[in-house]
Structure 1
Amino acid sequence: MSTTVPPTTRRSAQRGGLTGGLSGGLRGAVASEWTKLWSVRSVWWNLLASALLMAAAAGQEAIYVVNENTNTDPADDPGVTALGAVAISSVLLAQFTVIALAMLVITAEYATGTIRATLQWTPSRGRVLLAKTAVVAAVTFVVGALLGALGSAVADPVLGEWGRFPVAETVGDVLAVATYLALISVFTLGVGTALRSAVGTLTTVFMIIMVVPTALGVLDNEFVNRIVDGLPGVAGYHFMRGGSDPYPPAVGLALLVAWAVAAMLAGYAALRSRDA
């Protein structure tokens, strides 16, 4: 005797929204994305490049601090600097290798056509995107914490007497770096899902994070400065740096989260409305 599955049940199982199938379906999708990520050789090269770039940037930043403290102009003296502050300044450069990793999670599949196989195995596009987001956020958070710790470790011997290592503050700075990289990577994943192009994604993210704030900043206009302070890269830096100018760290974090969510919603809309 055959059993017929009601049409409404079939449609419900196949359709799935952004949070559909959170039980076995999402776990399987996450496991699949995790396996795909670590099976790509370029990911490992990317992680190595991230570590090398972070170490080089932290070493150079520490040298700047020492030189400014030991030159003949007392106006340049930044004084004793926390190791975590050096890591925060250094990640502004090293972040682009992590951004490239997040971008490739989606754009590489469009470039090779494997996105079709992904969507055949997991028809719910919302579930696919949610799984990719979970993997990207988790991996880049851990990578960010390791990079923050690496930057602090490299800066320590270079700074010498001009460096300080408050344990709680340094741990907080490292976690702030990790949080920033995780959120900016999710933002990148959303942009990549919407644009589908590696070049287009990298260009767009680079423009939003670096070029636009720099270009608008030279205008030195109060209204324009407020716009700049709301951009994701600037908001993330204010969050990591702490302080209350121009707003508390919590506001910077909220702005960064808002950018990440907006990018993911745009990516989800594009993923749903277009063919693979």
Structure 2
Amino acid sequence: MTTTTTPGRRTDPPREVRGAPGRGTPGGFAGAVSCEWTKLWSVRAPGLCLLAGLAMTGVFTFYYASIARINAHPVEPVGNATASSAVLTQFAVVILATVAVTSEYSTGSVRASLLWVPRRHRVQAAKALVAAVVSFAAGIVYAVVGAAAAWGAFDGRASFDAGTTIRQALSVGLYLALVAVLAVGTAFATRHPAGALSVLVTLLWGLPTVLLGVGGPDLAAVNDYLPHGAGDHLMRAGVDIPFAPVPAMLIVVAWAVAAHLAGLYVLRRRDA
């Protein structure tokens, strides 16, 4: 069978299917990241979460330093006040990352996101990356503000070393970034804000509180392998800790990766 063309007529190439990302359209990972960045800042919730975290940092670090001064605690690096405040400020990041995912399931807009970027792992990776970058930057700001708020309240019960303070600031940012990835993965796995927050509050605060409250070296050792327990060892300095910063970081990374893979499994297996 042969085909003929009419002389003088131009044969146009076949059109791409409407709605499918082509080679030059923003359907790849870079486009997904750009879309997630725009969506994150198109509502007020992220900004309010970050401001709440900043306020909690200032109040908690001032309180921490005041107690250390009143009780004549041993002199410690000023950055430890900010490291301790992460037990609260991490939930500003948790809510930010969770809402970024579950709000789309609540409104049904997740279908549009998956149509625009058909490769589902790119959607989840883009959300995790945006949340992690924002949380890392917020953590560094929190560390600087917390150190400044705590310095005066310590009144001589704290030491300042530029290298240690910078390392702790980066560690706080890194920990909050990993918590954001953990929250994104959990949110994709549960698809509901109440479910995601229940899991995350239990893992990051409830379970460590029970383990440390009951007491005993065995339970404390279990807490060291939970996200916040390991993260606390990552962020602190000048105290006896069971893990060096790198092993502590790897424990938190393992939790974040596990949550990310769980969320990706649900995202691929279930319809939006």
Q: Identify which of 240, 255, 259 aligns with 1:259.
A: 255
Q: Tell me how far 1:218 sits from its aligned partner.
A: 4.3
The alignment partner of 1:148 has SS state of helix
Structure 1 residues 92 and 218 mapped into 2: Cα distance closer, same or farther (>3 Å)?
Answer: closer
Q: How many residues align?
A: 256
Task: Tell me the distance in 2 between the aligned counterparts of 1:170 and 1:210.
Answer: 25
Q: Identify which of 256, 262, 265 aligns with 1:269.
A: 265
What are the superposed Cα offsets for residues 206-259 of structure 1, whole Å, 9 maximum, x if unpaired? 101111122233454555443322111111111112566322221111110000
Q: Tell me how far 1:134 sits from its aligned partner.
A: 1.1
Which segment drifts farther, 111-120 or 258-267?
111-120
| 1:1-276 matches, cutoff 5 A | 1=11, 3=13, 25-69=28-72, 78-220=73-215, 222-242=217-237, 245-276=241-272
Task: Tell me the distance in 2 between the aligned counterparts of 1:4 and 1:221.
Answer: 71
Q: Tell me how far 1:103 sits from its aligned partner.
A: 1.0
For structure 1, the 5+ residue unaligned runs are 15-20, 70-77
Structure 1 residues 225 and 105 mapped into 2: Cα distance closer, same or farther (>3 Å)?
Answer: same
Task: Tell me the distance in 1 between the aligned counterparts of 2:149 and 2:218.
Answer: 39
The alignment partner of 1:161 has SS state of coil
Task: Tell me the distance in 1 between the aligned counterparts of 2:58 and 2:106.
Answer: 32
Which segment drifts farther, 224-233 or 202-211?
224-233
Structure 1 residues 151 and 29 mapped into 2: Cα distance closer, same or farther (>3 Å)?
Answer: same
Give, as a single letter, the amino acid of the residue that structure 2 aligns with 1:95: Q
Task: Tell me the distance in 2 between the aligned counterparts of 1:247 and 1:37.
Answer: 35
Give, as a single letter, the amino acid of the residue that structure 1 aligns with 2:64: E
Give, as a single letter, the amino acid of the residue that structure 2 aligns with 1:240: M
Task: Tell me the distance in 2 between the aligned counterparts of 1:68 and 1:202.
Answer: 35
RMSD: 2.2
Does the aligned pair in 1 maintain the 2:33–2:126 contact within 8 Å?
Answer: yes
For structure 2, the 5+ residue unaligned runs are 1-10
Does the aligned pair in 2 maintain the 1:57–1:94 contact within 8 Å?
Answer: no
Task: Tell me the distance in 1 between the aligned counterparts of 2:49 and 2:206.
Answer: 23
Does the aligned pair in 2 maintain the 1:136–1:185 contact within 8 Å?
Answer: yes
Higher fraction of helix: 1
Q: Tell me how far 1:270 sits from its aligned partner.
A: 0.4
Task: Tell me the distance in 2 between the aligned counterparts of 1:235 and 1:220.
Answer: 17
Structure 1 residues 221 and 68 mapped into 2: Cα distance closer, same or farther (>3 Å)?
Answer: closer
